[in-house]
Amino acid sequence: MNRKIVFRIGGLLILAIALFFGYREFRYLQGHETTDDAQIDGDVNPVIPKAGGYVKAIRFQDNQFVNEGDTLIVLDDADYRIRVNQAEAALESALATAGVTRSNIGVASATVESSQASVLTARNQVATAQANVTAAQVRLRKASLDFDRYSRLLAEKTVPQQQFDAVQAERDAAQAQLQAAQAQLQTAQAQVNAAGTQTGVTNSQRRVTEGQISVVQATVKQRQSELDMAKLQLSYTVVRAPISGVVSKRAVQVGQLVQPGQALCSVVGNTSLWVTANFKETQLAKMHSGQPVAIKVDAFEGEKVTGHVGSFAGATGAKFSLLPPDNATGNYVKVVQRIPVRIDLDKSDSLYTRLRPGMSVTVAVDLQK
């Protein structure tokens, strides 16, 4: 066979193959949007202590899997335990003071009740004395009338001297009884005034004591709050894992002095991974949430996982940068912007557990679905 014919046939075959694959790629691109500006994202939680102190122990190894709540770091808690003991002692002292004050209120209340009983008794005695005075006045009035009548009869010599003397003695006895009853009345009234004064003084003492118990109760609440805060600070000396995942990026050593808010390590969660793909704004016309996505992972020689379009960012990536561009200044150059698109991965895929945040991927969104 002529060599030229062979070359022509080979060229035609190559051209046919190129046209076939080119057409297939063209048809594929007509129904898909692709980008290699994409990477795996996930939750990376920093481990930050809420209390300061020297590191006493580290309970994990680099890249170790931990569960949420596992102890990662233990700080020296001697100072915090002393503060708890001090707060407990202050609370006990405040409670003892409150107990004494409540006892004083009880004594003052009993004294007030006793004084009120004394006032009631004195008032009853006044009433009795007043009744005795009234009875004595009636007796004296009758005795005086009898004395006047018998005086006239004695002058007329119609009654004997002995009978007149008895009437006179009755009048004198009535006068003495009236004076005694009036004296008793004055004494009873004085007792009422004294008992009332004592009750007023005791009431004042009770009000003062009640004011003291209010202050003591506020002190007890303050001491209880201080104890709760001391215990809370003590609990912060044990630093625990915020989520389940792999501990990485350790930045702490035993004996190191750490401060609240200082990042000690990070826990990378493996239960929630997604892809952030930065599509050009011109690629988003036919893209919407729920469309299936094929994801090729560079780290695993192009092995694919599946997912679907989750959501679109609220602005372009440039707008979220530290110095966003402002087209109103300088020379304007139009640049195609990129929009971050979140792609949710299918957790049932066998490759899902091997993925790590930051891996580079290539995504293809099926626009026909």
User: Are 136 and 262 in a shared domain?
Assistant: no
Q: Would you say residue 26 lies in a domain?
A: no
pLDDT at 175: 76
Q: How many domains does the chain have?
A: 2
pLDDT at 319: 86
Using a cut of 0.75, tell me whether the model's pTM lies above it: no
pLDDT at 57: 94
Separation between Cα atoms, residue 80 and residue 56, nearest integer Å = 14
User: Are 184 and 43 in a shared domain?
Assistant: no
Q: Would you say residue 19 lies in a domain?
A: no
User: Are 117 and 220 in a shared domain?
Assistant: yes
pLDDT at 241: 93
Range of the domain at 349: 32-76+245-366
Separation between Cα atoms, residue 239 and residue 264, nearest integer Å = 10
User: Are 251 and 316 in a shared domain?
Assistant: yes
User: Are 166 and 41 in a shared domain?
Assistant: no
Q: Which residues of 250-282 are buried (b: 16+ CB within 10 A; e: fewer)?
A: bebeeeeebeeeeebbbbbbbeebbbbbbbeee
- Please list the rounded mean pLDDT of every run of 10 residues in the chain (369 residues): 70 77 66 89 92 93 92 93 90 73 55 60 69 73 72 68 70 74 72 61 54 70 88 93 91 92 90 91 90 91 88 90 74 84 90 90 89
User: Are 216 and 252 in a shared domain?
Assistant: no
pLDDT at 123: 67
Q: What's the maximum distance between 2 C-alpha atoms anywhere in the chain?
A: 199
User: Are 286 and 252 in a shared domain?
Assistant: yes
| Dihedral sign (CA 99, 105, 108, 113) | negative
pLDDT at 117: 60
Q: Would you say residue 55 lies in a domain?
A: yes
Among candidates 275, 269, 270, which has minimal Cα distance to 297?
275
**The domain spanning residue 43 has which CATH number?**
2.40.30.170
Q: Would you say residue 4 lies in a domain?
A: no
User: Are 191 and 219 in a shared domain?
Assistant: yes
Query: Do 45 and 269 form a contact (C-beta atoms < 8 A)?
Result: yes
User: Are 288 and 181 in a shared domain?
Assistant: no
